Structure 1
Amino acid sequence: MGKKRKNNDASESSRSMDGNTVQLEGISTVGNVADNDTNMLVVIPKKKAKIKTKVVEKKVKKLSKKERKRLTDIIQRKENKERRANLLEALSKNQASEEEMKRFTSITEVYTQNYKSDLAVGDTYEMKINSIKRTKRKKKPMTVKEDKEEDPESEDTDQMSTDEEVEAIMEEQASAQTKDDVTVEASSIHSLNQSLHAQIEPAKNPDSKPADLQPVKNADSKPSVYMHLNRIPEMQAARLKLPILAEEQVVMETINDNPIVIICGETGSGKTTQVPQFLYEAGYAHQSGIICVTEPRRVAAISMSKRVAAEMNLTDREISYQIRFEGNTTPETKIKFVTDGVLLKEAQQDPLLTKYSVIIIDEAHERSVYTDILIGLLSIVLRQRAKRGRPLKLIIMSATLRIEDFTSSVLFRYSKPPPIIKVEARQFPVTVHFNKKTIEDYVSEAYKKVCKIHRTLPEGGILVFVTGQQEVHTLVRKLRKMFPYIPGQANLEPTKKESRRERQRKEKLLQEEKKESLLEDVKKIDLNSFSVLPQDDEVAENDDNIDVNSDEENTKLKEEEDEEEDLKAMMKEETPDSSIPLYLLPLYSLLSSDKQAQVFEPAPEGCRMCIIATNVAETSLTIPNIRYVVDTGKTKTKFYDKVTGVSTFRVTWVSQASANQRAGRAGRMGPGHCYRLYSSAVFSDFELFTPPEITRRPVEDLVLQMKSMRIDKVANFPFPTPPVNEQIKAAESLLMSLGALHPVGNQSIRFNDLKKVKSPVITDLGMVMATFPVAPRYAKMLMLAKTYKVLPYAVALVAALSVDELFIDSIQPSDAEGDKEKWQSKVAKLSIFRSNLIGNAFLLGDMMVLLKAVGACESEGCAVSFCERLGIRFKAMREIRKLRIQLTNAVNTAFPEEDLVVDPNLPPPNEEQNLALRKIVLGGLADHVARRNPAPPPGADKTECNRLKGSFQCMQLEDLVYIHPESVMFKNKDVEFVVYQSMIETSRLYMRGLCCIEAHWFPELAPSYCVLSKPLEEPPPRYDQKTGKVFCHRSGSFGRCNWEFAPTEMEFPDSVESYRWFAKFLLDGDVFPALARFKSFLLLNASTMVKSWAKLQPKTDTVLKALISKEAKTRDRLIGMWKTEPRFFQAEYLEWIPESLHGEVITLWPPLVSKS
């Protein structure tokens, strides 16, 4: 039978007629008949009746997205409630007893103060909580049951939030009346168990959701590690005196919880030596990697590694250092001290620095260029290492409070700035004394101040700050003459004190005896010959405070007393005194390492130590036993002209931060004094901080390194203090002129438009240049040396150019024997010797002097005595040897076929090699070209004649420049064009490191600076059999000054004309001699290719299109095409010869070898 269905219409009609049951279409339909009625009338038709019924399709109402979402939420909520009920039932099986539950305290009670008067003993409490779904909500406080009967429904209504109200409305619309919240009584064990989970779980993690009921494993937790060290008791006792030892727990907890930490503490707080030890003991060097500490100076890296190794009682195999050309790292190294440049070079090979677990940037306040680059680079590395699951810790340590540059959100893209730990230094009080007057001759003033301190003040070391090597030696020599120290002389302390008392007694007698004579000398002084103008602002201010109504005699008397005191002091200073010897030591960066280390050793018995130093002693080293500091307030700074690119050294005032650093040197071991040789008014005008080095020097080496690391947009790099846009543009322009960078699209740009190029990209040549550890200019010289086959000489020359001050200056060292005349005689002999080093290679100039000096020292084994005899700094020669080895290895890595070795007996270059060396020097220093100015016209002014005499005009400056007197080319008046290594500014602008060049080399070696004409018709282009290329002559000008040069032969420029001329030589048989015998049979003369009417001949157009399509304009390119397409250019050539010769040409093709 068919499907049964209830027919309500039929039932109603049967009931209205007779109440009987009717069956239609074989479907039995039961009407409204009593169950006990068994005599139903059944009517069965004989034939199936066909009744036409209209089928009405019931339209299904489509749900809107909002309605569908509402119904889905209702279903989902019901399912959640079912799961919640099942969960509660499961939890009730593991319920606690009622007695145990009463011992728990609700979270609401913990934060609510209840008074005894409010609670009655024995009362029964109930707690009202939200459902598990809203466990993050604030819980209802406990209430007394007897005081108030709670209505569950009203309570639920009060506790509902906006989301709950929406849910309730949706449930009412769905006719599903349910309750969202659950009210539990304290007496119900089932509800109390639920209450326990509802309140304890959110307290552990307030941000958790109902679904987060599973235990979550803490990924940050790791077992603690402690590496035990067997320290020497004396070392441990010395460590405990350092201020940072008290902050070890704070430091390590901060480091463990943060990827970046900044530690700020004055020099002497122990941060450099102790923080690496903290990290080692905490296990940071156990398995995860090496602890790396960067120092801005090499002497600091070496001394700190030795000190830390001694404190930890470990060998140099575990605590090592790595500086340029030198290091003692091993596979067992755990802590490595490096210079910032070394680490930056490692980052070029390993961008993520994977072998390090912690990197410490020490002395970050000095803001060296490499330190700034490292901090910006590490801010990127930190995020990359964190993504890879190998987090890196970065610790920045600074000695000053200028830390805003290191906490910039642009630099470290974290939600909050890095934490800062300030460590109080072990600093004793330092009394600062300002001069009343600021004397211009600060060296003489420093000499007077040291003499006064040594004669009158108690024992304690003296540290004097001056600007450079010359001032150091001058001051040391004068003080040694005044207070001579003779080794072996007995100067015991009691005798010393007794002699001082005796000396003071004698001085008093001397003062009484000569008082009248001194006053007479004062009267003889003509005060009218002295200026009454104040020497600084402070004196002017003090003049305003003088009482103009005071007695004129008192004023004159005061002046006479001052003059008397000055004369007394002068008399004392000019009298040598060997009874109080002074142990004097120089200290500057170019000093040898063994002499630098002497400042850490104690002074001989009976002597006071006095150190004359440059700013190298400002922050990098902690010199012991210093009690007095004499600060001249001066420093020698290298300034860089961002427009011209010229660097000059100038003596300027230090910053206030540097002056405070210098003063702090007197308070390391005890209370001290700082004598500033300038007034307080001058000090207030100092800059607060020294500008970062990156803003004061050229940055082409940094730009090239960053480009090689695929950092194309250097301006967007996160520098702590970014260089100005002019610096970056100048660096990119120079690199483009060297061929290391090229514009996007590789289009040719004139040198005047180089700075307009935006974000040039690195070339293959630039990638190789970046591997050499020298400046980009010198790297280009090495690349050219490979072409000219003079790599051994170029490596030695580049190594010598990269090291400053190879030869000893004309400055007399403080330990030099003999008087001034003997020293000058020695300098003159050395000058003659250097001139003789040139030999026949005079045009190579100062470059040949460097090359010969390196070769001579290497042949003698680089002996100290030999270097001193030739006036060569042994320390510089040792660095040249190390750099030469390093460059040789780099060249062999870049060009394995060269197989270059360091030859200690390298013979002098021959004439052809000298010529090649001059060319490569021009290729690397093309922007350092200068041209001699013509002689002044007859009758010119004498002053103008003196100004133009020996002057040159360079590309970068409008001012006249001159050859330095120490150059071997100083007296040469015949050279027209020279190239210089550097330029210094004193009374004039002087060029140093000169080499003669030829003007016709410009188009070949410095094309970026040339403006060339079109190929000249006379002489006509020619084909060069050696290179297989077409050459032509072109004239032009060079540089900003438009120095014109004679027509020069060079490769034909890339143009349509170059293909025409190559086709001409190809048809004539000059390119392939096998085609020369067909020249007389050509249907058209080959010269037709280069005629102005060549387009009228279809044959010329066919040949031209074929060559251009394959860029075939050289012999090598054509041969390469025939290797893949042997019949290339055959059809085009056949059009130029008679048909009778076609078969012979086809047999011959390709015409590489003549078959006649």
Structure 2
Amino acid sequence: MEAINDNPIVIICGETGSGKTTQVPQFLYEAGYASSGGIIGITEPRRVAAVSMSQRVAKEMNLSHRVVSYQIRYEGNVTDETQIKFMTDGVLLKEIQKDFLLSKYKVIIIDEAHERSMYTDILIGLLSRIVPLRHKVRGLPLKLIIMSATLRVEDFTANTRLFSVQPPVIQVDARQFPVTVHFNKKTPLDDYSGECFRKVCKIHRMLPAGGILVFLTGQAEVHSLCRRLRKAFPYQKNTMQSAACVPLLMCCSHLPSLSQTLPKIDLNNYSVVPPDEGDEDRDFDSDDDAAGSDLDLDLGDGDSGEDEKSDSSLPLYVLPLYSLLAPEKQAKVKDLLSQLYSSAVFMDFEKFSAPEITKRPVEDLILQMKALNIEKVINFPFPSPPPTEALAAAEELLIALGALKELKQQLAAKLSCPISPLGRVMATFPVAPRYAKMLALSRQQQCLPYTITIVSAMTVRELFEELDRPAGSEEEAAQLKARRARFLQMQKVWAGQGPMQKLGDLMVMLGAVGACEYSGCTREFCEQNGLRHKAMLEIRRLRGQLTTAVNSVCRDAGLYVDPKMEPPTEAQVTYLRQIVLAGLGDHLARRVQAEEQLDDKWKNAYKTALLEDPVFIHPSSVLFKELPEFVVYQEIVETTKLYMKGVSAVEPEWIPALLPPYCHFGKPLEDPPPSYCPGTGRVRCHRASVFYRVGWQLPAVEVDFPPGIERYKHFARFLLEGKVIKKLSSYSQCLLSSPLIMLKTWSKLQPRTEALLQALVKENCDNRDALVAAWKKNPKCECSACLIISHVSGLRGLVQTDQSLRRACLRQL
């Protein structure tokens, strides 16, 4: 506390279990940092930690949840009386957008900083600038405390760009009992799950009673190991409470909110060993991110997949852990840590894991920073700056989505593109930029409720249960077979028929969510139809949040979450497919034609703009047998092949119209000739194009005429013909020559036509909106209505009626 009182920024380094998260907020509260209306804010990288820690601290301090509260993405219990607030880092980042100085906080604690999540890094960078600004405000200082479980603090202390004055580091020792670490003599390269199963059985049969915590790489492996353990130690109805038993607690880190807390149910009816071996009860906790046990098994693998917001088009892999994760896992056990790899392999591990911000796409981070008016992201004081290539790729994507304004090449190279009005709207939605673009385009055709539902389902992911897993018994096999048949039947119903089916897997998601909500989102309905109940509840919460966000942007939208939502019409489905294409344009894939197949591995394959290898539609997709020519996908996963999931079919003529940044266009075609569009007030033409990087030839479509002098000429021609302003068509008979002369190469020999063209160029009038703006700004500008006529026809008398003609023209516009 002395260090905190004397320094604006303090780093606390202590092992897991040292009490940093629960005790430091209490010290600050007792020291008076929450008095006079101030709040002690603690950020956690996980929602479960924010909720459970607020409850723990409230219990230890004997305070109400109205005083010690939490706030996460979907829920919270913050009140006007809150003095200690636990929250996720994303919540605090949103608050900074509204109140940059965080004026209601007296202390900010960044917990679990060693995990180096992307939003933790940007928070530390922002707070490194907010703290000095707050200290300049008299009577409103802000304390920043960074807490880490490892000794990797050089990124903070030695980074003068981050902290000009090196903050003090307080080391806290926590280990009060020994932990024995065992390594395998040999590292299992293939069947590490089998080795894990054998090790669990051996530990349970040979070592004293206690819990066993097993770290696995994902949910599928958790379920697989638990099935094998149940089969090895079968259920016995006559097992007494005192007899040997093995409760199996399955915890998976991607489950939302409080679903990771241990269930308060009796699971002690699994007999594990013959009675004469005399073991006492033992708990097995199979987890991919859990805490607290007597014995621990570590596979030595970590899932390199991203969090639930990830939408990368590249495949995800399971990679080795870094060496300092083992001490973190030691802190979760009390006796024995068994590593399923050799000590030689352990010594080859990287000492630290690379920060998340250096490993994953950062377009959502860049968009949020641009919304904070941080234009030159490359100059931001990151603790570990992301690669320049990643920043450039993120800006390129955001420019293609229309979220950033494209600047000249020399400025764009400095990564300083400003945010566009569309980008500010997209930044208000708590989803990935691709999905935010889809929401921003959905006001037409009354498609917003459907887009919100689809985006919620794509964000939550893993809607459907894994029904293709191997069965542990014949009875389970029969149940899985029946459930698979039921799910396939419902999948066909949800996918619809005809044009509806072209929305593909997204139509299945939409139908599944709609049917689940119609039934009341009950657990029974989800189990009967192969849906994950927790995912459906999370989708419901996200739909509510997105609906609120959309209503705040479009105040006349009047949206609400309708549990009886009607299915979309065919016209709405077509528009939804176009919306999906506009958001997932860089996730476009084209079916490889027969003449393009290099060998058999390319049969029924697709080619993407980002990968050289062939990719395939996942067998679980409703479009698996249809094989449309062009599709967009949500993600690519790798098993035996690279498979696209979340697939939707698109029409080739939509691509150049909806994705012009990704297309290289040819010259305007003469047949059909350019035309004027009364709806947009712009000159249109037909152009052929190819898709960037891969050179896919696309059909010629009607697009805006490219910028240049030719566009001014065509606009002048349509203006003189009376197509832009009908009032001027009554003077067409007075023209001395045909408006087509504006397109001739020798038109500059005609003083009248050349004067009109130069007037339009001077006022940047190559469309109707620009012309109206010029007339309103200056009624006597060189391209005013009367001067247009007088330049061309010589009717000088019309100048005297300029005001009345101008008003008549403006009324028609």
How far apart are 1:384 and its partner, in Å? 0.8
Q: 1:818 to 1:364 in 2, by over 3 A?
A: farther
Which of 694, 708, 712 is 1:1059 aligned to?
712
- 8 Å CA contact 2:785, 2:805 repeated in 1: no
Aligned to 1:927, the other structure's residue is in SS state helix
How far apart are 1:830 and its partner, in Å? 0.9
Partner of 1:837: 494
- Per-residue CA deviations over 1:147-185 (Å, capped at 9, x if unaligned) read xxxxxxxxxxxxxxxxxxxxxxxxxxxxxxxxxxxxxxx
Aligned to 1:649, the other structure's residue is in SS state coil
- 8 Å CA contact 1:639, 1:650 repeated in 2: no
Partner of 1:406: 156
Alignment partner of 1:802 is 2:497: no
How far apart are 1:870 and its partner, in Å? 2.0
1:468-487 to structure 2, matched below 5 A, reads 468-486=218-236
How far apart are 1:316 and its partner, in Å? 1.0
- 8 Å CA contact 2:215, 2:297 repeated in 1: yes
Which of 36, 48, 54 is 1:305 aligned to?
54
Residues of 1 paired with 2:551 and 2:385: CA distance? 36
Partner of 2:548: 889
Partner of 2:322: 655
Which of 115, 118, 123 is 1:366 aligned to?
115
Aligned to 1:1047, the other structure's residue is in SS state strand
Alignment partner of 1:294 is 2:43: yes
Residues of 2 paired with 1:905 and 1:1068: CA distance? 52
Which of 149, 162, 174 is 1:425 aligned to?
174
Partner of 2:722: 1069
Alignment partner of 1:908 is 2:567: yes
- Give the aligned residue type for 1:355: K
How far apart are 1:955 and its partner, in Å? 0.7
Partner of 1:742: 405
Partner of 1:704: 367
Alignment partner of 1:783 is 2:440: yes
Partner of 1:1022: 675
Residues of 1 paired with 2:422 and 2:392: CA distance? 20
Q: 1:419 to 1:1046 in 2, by over 3 A?
A: same
Partner of 2:294: 627
Aligned to 1:733, the other structure's residue is in SS state helix
- 8 Å CA contact 1:931, 1:977 repeated in 2: yes
Residues of 2 paired with 1:776 and 1:1110: CA distance? 36
Partner of 2:284: 610
1:188-587 to structure 2, matched below 5 A, reads 252-287=1-36, 289-389=38-138, 390-415=140-165, 417-440=166-189, 441-486=191-236, 489-492=239-242, 496=243, 580-587=244-251
Alignment partner of 1:1089 is 2:756: no
Q: 1:911 to 1:341 in 2, by over 3 A?
A: same
How far apart are 1:333 and its partner, in Å? 0.8
Residues of 2 paired with 1:1125 and 1:265: CA distance? 69
Aligned to 1:269, the other structure's residue is in SS state coil
Partner of 1:823: 480
Partner of 2:601: 947
How far apart are 1:899 and its partner, in Å? 2.9
Partner of 2:254: 590
Residues of 1 paired with 2:419 and 2:637: CA distance? 31
Partner of 1:1006: 659
1:668-683 to structure 2, matched below 5 A, reads 672-683=335-346
Whose relative contact order is higher, 1 or 2, with alpha carbons under 8 Å and at least 6 apart? 2
- Give the aligned residue type for 1:663: Q
- Give the aligned residue type for 2:532: R
- 8 Å CA contact 2:618, 2:645 repeated in 1: yes
Residues of 2 paired with 1:1017 and 1:317: CA distance? 71
Larger Rg: 1
Residues of 2 paired with 1:771 and 1:850: CA distance? 24
How far apart are 1:634 and its partner, in Å? 1.8
Which of 684, 703, 721 is 2:384 aligned to?
721
1:134-213 to structure 2, matched below 5 A, reads none
Q: 1:1147 to 1:612 in 2, by over 3 A?
A: closer
- 8 Å CA contact 1:427, 1:664 repeated in 2: no
- Give the aligned residue type for 2:495: I
Partner of 1:249: none
- Give the aligned residue type for 1:608: R
Residues of 2 paired with 1:607 and 1:413: CA distance? 52
How far apart are 1:360 and its partner, in Å? 1.1
Residues of 2 paired with 1:754 and 1:409: CA distance? 27
How far apart are 1:379 and its partner, in Å? 1.0
CA RMSD of aligned residues (A): 2.7
- Per-residue CA deviations over 1:555-584 (Å, capped at 9, x if unaligned) read xxxxxxxxxxxxxxxxxxxxxxxxx32111
- Give the aligned residue type for 2:785: F
Q: 1:1078 to 1:452 in 2, by over 3 A?
A: same
- 8 Å CA contact 2:330, 2:337 repeated in 1: yes
- 8 Å CA contact 1:485, 1:583 repeated in 2: no
Instruction: Could you tell me which runs of 5 or more consecutive residues in structure 2 were left unpaired when the two chains were aligned.
Output: 270-279
- 8 Å CA contact 2:715, 2:766 repeated in 1: yes
Aligned to 1:931, the other structure's residue is in SS state strand
- 8 Å CA contact 2:467, 2:483 repeated in 1: no
Aligned to 1:688, the other structure's residue is in SS state coil
Q: 1:881 to 1:813 in 2, by over 3 A?
A: farther
- Give the aligned residue type for 1:968: V
- Per-residue CA deviations over 1:299-331 (Å, capped at 9, x if unaligned) read 111111111111111111111111111111111
Aligned length: 791
How far apart are 1:737 and its partner, in Å? 1.3
Aligned to 1:674, the other structure's residue is in SS state strand
Residues of 1 paired with 2:164 and 2:689: CA distance? 56
Return the TM-score normalized by structure 1: 0.65
- Per-residue CA deviations over 1:638-667 (Å, capped at 9, x if unaligned) read 389xxx964332222212111222233222
Q: 1:1005 to 1:894 in 2, by over 3 A?
A: same
- 8 Å CA contact 2:607, 2:614 repeated in 1: yes
Return the TM-score normalized by structure 2: 0.92
Residues of 1 paired with 2:297 and 2:473: CA distance? 25
- Give the aligned residue type for 1:993: G
Aligned to 1:351, the other structure's residue is in SS state coil
- 8 Å CA contact 1:1103, 1:1133 repeated in 2: no
Q: 1:901 to 1:1136 in 2, by over 3 A?
A: same
Residues of 2 paired with 1:758 and 1:790: CA distance? 35
- Per-residue CA deviations over 1:437-463 (Å, capped at 9, x if unaligned) read 222311111111111121221111111
Instruction: Could you tell me which runs of 5 or more consecutive residues in structure 1 were left unpaired when the two chains were aligned.
Output: 1-251, 497-579
Residues of 2 paired with 1:396 and 1:1146: CA distance? 70
Question: How much identity, in percent, do the aligned residues show?
Answer: 50
- 8 Å CA contact 2:465, 2:531 repeated in 1: yes
Q: 1:715 to 1:1119 in 2, by over 3 A?
A: closer
Q: 1:414 to 1:1121 in 2, by over 3 A?
A: closer
- Per-residue CA deviations over 1:238-263 (Å, capped at 9, x if unaligned) read xxxxxxxxxxxxxx122111112222
Residues of 1 paired with 2:730 and 2:429: CA distance? 52
Q: 1:755 to 1:837 in 2, by over 3 A?
A: farther
Q: 1:392 to 1:593 in 2, by over 3 A?
A: closer
